Each structure stands twice: as C-alpha cells, then as structure tokens.
Amino acid sequence: MSNKEIIAGVAAGVLLFLMLQGVNILPIVFLLGLIGIVYYVNFGRQPINSVSFASAERSICTISFDDIGGQEVAKNELREALEFIKNSEHMKLLGIRPLKGILLSGPPGTGKTLLAKAAAQYTDSVFLSASGSEFVEMYVGVGAQRVRKLFEQARKAAKHLNKSSAVIFIDEIEVLGGARGQNNGHQEHDQTLNELLVQMDGISSAEEIKVLVIGATNRIDMLDSALLRPGRFDRLVKVDLPDKKGRMHILKLHTRNKPLASDVSIDTLSKDTFGFSGAQLESVTNEAAIIAMREGSDKICSNHFRGAIEKVMMGEKLDRLPSKEEKRRIAIHESGHALISELKLPGSVASVNVASRSSALGYVRQTQENDMYLYTYDYLKSRISVALAGVLAEELVLGNKSTGGSGDFKYASDIAKQIVYSGMSGLGIISADDIPKDQLHSAIVSILREIEIDTREMLLKYIRDLNQIAELLLDKETISGEELRIVLRKANSSECA
C-alpha cells in the first residue's frame, strides 16, 4: 500500500468520525478538494513517460545501429563517444572524466530518436525519454522538480533492471535549454535549465549507475551556451538529411517486410526522393502499401510508390475541382515547367500532375541522377528558367498571366539572389552584408529578365510540344517523366522526317 493510500484512508476515517460527532464537514471537504486540485496541477501529472517500473521494463531498447539507415558519420561518431561508457573501467584508470552529454542536431525526422535508442541498446543501458516541452510550466520550481525526478527515475530504473547505466533522451531540448533570461516567465525556465545543469554536473564516474544525457534539437543556435560548454554536452553529432546511398539504405530497411513487385527499383526510388528525411521515406513505404491494399493488389508496384511519393510531398488529393478553364490553365502552366525542365536538364522530370492536392493545384516532380552539393551558374539559370516557364507558357498560349506563378517567382528570385551572393552576377564578388538593397534588387531583376527572354523564345520554338503535353495532361491528369520524354522524342523525329 502506498503512502498516498494510507493518507487517503486516514483522512476519510477522520472525516467520518467528525461527521458522526455532528461537525459540518462540508467546508473541510471543499478545502481538501481545492488543495488536491492545486497539488495535481503542480506536482501530480507525471510528464515523463517512464515513471513506473512497469514502463521501465519497456525502456529496454531493441533498436540497434543496424536498424538505422544511412547516417554512417553520425553512427560512427556516436559509437566512438559511447566507448566512454562501454569501457568505463579503463577510462577510470586513465583518470578520464565521464562523458555526460551528447547533442544530436539536425532536421526533423532524420533519426535522432532512433540513434539515442540505439545508443542505449549499444551500451546495454535503460532508456528514458522526455520532450523539452514537458518541463515547461507556469509555476516556478515545477520544471526543475521534473528534471530532478527524471534523473532519479533513470537511476532507479537501471537499478531495478540490474543495469549499470541509463540513457536519458531529451527531445526538443531547445525548449528547456534555450538561452537564459530571454523567455516569458523566465524565472521558471531558468530554474529548470539550472537544474539540468546541476544534474549533469552531478554525474560522476564514481557513481554506481552511469547516466548519459542525449539531447536532440534542430535549433542548436537557441541553446544556452552553458549547456554547450565542455563537461556538459561534450559531443555534438550532426544528423543530416540522408544522401542517395542513405535513402537507399532506409528504403531497404522499411521495405524489408513488404512484398515488392518486380518493377520496383530502390535505386530509382532513392533518386526520386531527393531531400526526403528518414521519416518521410518511412511514410512513402507505408503509403505505397496502403495504396496497394486499396487497389486490392497483393504486391506493391512502382506506381503505388509514385502515388505515395506524391502524397508525402504534396499532401492528400483534394475533391476540390477547378473549373474547366482553370484546369486548362493549370495544364498549360505545368506543361511549361515540364517542357523547359526536360529541355534544359534532360531526364529531370519524374512526373507532371494536374490533380489538386493540399499544397498545389498542379505540380511537376523532378528527380536528379546524383545528389548535388555545389551548383554552377548554368545550372542555377536552368532552375530559374524552369520556374518562370509556367507563367510564360500561360501568357503565350492564353494571352495573359495568372496568380499561379507567385510561388515560382519567389523561388526564381531566391536563386537569383544566390547567384548575386556567390559573386556570379554582373556585380562580381560582393559583400552580402553590405550591398545596398536597390543594387541587389536591380542585379536580381537583370538576371531574371535575361532568363525570361531566353525561356520565352524556347517556349515559342516548342509551342506545338507544349500544347500536346497540355492536352495529354488534361486527358490523363498525371503523366510520368518517361511518357513526357516519349512525346518529345516523337515530336522531334516527326520534325526531322
């Protein structure tokens, strides 16, 4: 029986006794109720998901580094850091202080939580996790108390499970560990952060249970510098979006348990998912299986994957139907993008669509053979040309523009700005911080004008192909890159004949 139960029993007995003595107990009951509510709001809620030993049993991780795709650099760095825990006796002999914290930094969905779980598995530690927001409270002292409790629970859970170490994972650590003195209600925030620092300082190699804190953030710039100093988060591990090899690895891991048709190529899928995070790739494999199930297929085919990629990128298909004229305009706009994309960067179109989805009325999905980390002037100009081609196609075929190109213009001017900042514009090498706004603006406009003229000429030259693609698109709603290339090849060969 817990202390709480004993107290509740005694209180009920006393109340019953008073009632039998003819005392009016209503005000006392009311007062006790009020105290109960205040206690519950402040201290009663257990924010940490591993408070009881029952859940501590579940806190033994089965995820290993082999279950994480790509991220080879992050995995190696993490493994190297974890040797401090695995070989702690050796470290102690050499007088090396224990590693207290590792910070994982990178975009959402790249596998930071998985890495922390794998770290717990690798070091045979218990794993407790919490999110930074779980420590945010209005009342001063509550967050700090939760931090304290989390460390206590980690040690208790490790003892209970006969482990010699515990990994505490704090996701969104910037919420708890943001710079001090800057938050609304900063007294509570500062106390919570101070408590985390105190707890981390208290970790020592002489302890029976070794505790390692792994924090995850995608806003490392927001963290208080005290957290980053040596002796706190000693190691910073960058967890980036996966490259092509990493995407292949992740896709392979998430299709392990799925029946794939023979037309599915993981290599092609990894090309088509440039810029996707691990979480998005997992979602693609799951969505593809759902589409296959809806279609009553017992295998997942490449067209199911195509639909899944589009859903993950552009959102769910909408019932909203544009008018006939609007649909034609959308088809011409998208055909403009697709045509110029194929002409400037052959093989770059993965699909062209005029089916409305939550984030676009129509879109061209592009693919690229290899991941690129540097862009040349010509490549950037081609990208601007593709972006401008939608509205220019509308203007050439329908005689006027629409608002459908505002996003494209923003994208095109961002690239033009990149050209200026990289010293590739007529201004030559400039200091990005010091260039006057009007000078920057005219440099951007001059780049855009030149490319606009060139793109318009190109569209005029291929106007028959443009109309043909638009007709096909209106008919089929979606055409693949391969179908588009067949149309263009046919048009070319009939011109030659």
Long-range contacts of 399-404 (CB under 8 A, 24+ apart): 402/329, 402/333, 404/329, 404/330, 404/333, 404/361
Q: Which residues pair with 128 in a beta bridge?
A: 168
Q: What is the CA radius of gyration of the chain?
A: 30
Does 177 participate in binding ligand ATP (rule CB under 6 A)?
no
Cα–Cα distance for residue pair 395/461, rounded to 1 Å: 15
Does 69 participate in binding ligand ATP (rule CB under 6 A)?
yes
CB nearer ligand ATP, residue 65 or residue 462: 65
CB nearer ligand ATP, residue 114 or residue 392: 114
* Minimum distance from residue 101 beta carbon to ligand ATP (Å): 17
Does 111 participate in binding ligand ATP (rule CB under 6 A)?
yes
- Residue 175 is encoded by which pair of tokens? 């919420």
CB nearer ligand ATP, residue 115 or residue 391: 115
Does 250 participate in binding ligand ATP (rule CB under 6 A)?
yes
Does 171 participate in binding ligand ATP (rule CB under 6 A)?
yes
- Residue 244 is encoded by which pair of tokens? 């092509």
Does 121 participate in binding ligand ATP (rule CB under 6 A)?
no
Among 174, 190, 224, 282, binds ligand ATP (CB under 6 A): 282
Which residues neighbour 208 within 8 Å (Cβ) at sequence distance 6 or greater?
Answer: 159, 164
Annotated catalytic residue 334: yes
Q: Answer positive or negative: Cα dihedral of 406, 412, 418, 419.
A: negative
Ordered DSSP codes for 26-79:
HHHHHHHHHHHHHHIIIII---STT-SHHHHHHTB----GGGS-S-HHHHHHHH
Among 101, 278, 404, 481, binds ligand ATP (CB under 6 A): 278
The site string for ligand ATP over 9-48 (x = CB under 6 A, - otherwise) reads: ----------------------------------------
Among 68, 312, 349, 440, binds ligand ATP (CB under 6 A): 68
Q: What is the β-pairing status of strands 101-105 and 210-217?
A: parallel
Cα–Cα distance for residue pair 117/301, rounded to 1 Å: 33
Residue at shortest CB range from ligand ATP: 278
The interface with ligand ATP within residues 184-223 (CB under 6 A) comprises 216, 218
Catalytic residue among 77, 334, 342, 394: 334
The DSSP secondary-structure symbol of 178 reads B
- Residue 351 is encoded by which pair of tokens? 């699909």
Q: How many residues bind ligand ATP (CB under 6 A)?
A: 19
Cα–Cα distance for residue pair 378/287, rounded to 1 Å: 37
Does 112 participate in binding ligand ATP (rule CB under 6 A)?
yes
Among 253, 352, 443, 469, binds ligand ATP (CB under 6 A): 253
- Residue 320 is encoded by which pair of tokens? 């909203």
Does 279 participate in binding ligand ATP (rule CB under 6 A)?
yes
Among 108, 315, 346, 423, binds ligand ATP (CB under 6 A): 108
Q: Which residues pair with 468 in a beta bridge?
A: none
Among 81, 82, 114, 173, binds ligand ATP (CB under 6 A): 114
CB nearer ligand ATP, residue 59 or residue 341: 59
Compute CA 413 distance to the chain's CA centroid, rounded to the nearest angstrom.
26
**Which range in 30-38, 275-283, 324-332, 472-480 contacts ligand ATP by CB under 6 A?**
275-283
Contact residues for ligand ATP, defined by CB under 6 A: 68-71, 108-114, 171, 216, 218, 250, 253, 278-279, 282
Q: Could you give the residue numbers annotated as active site?
A: 334
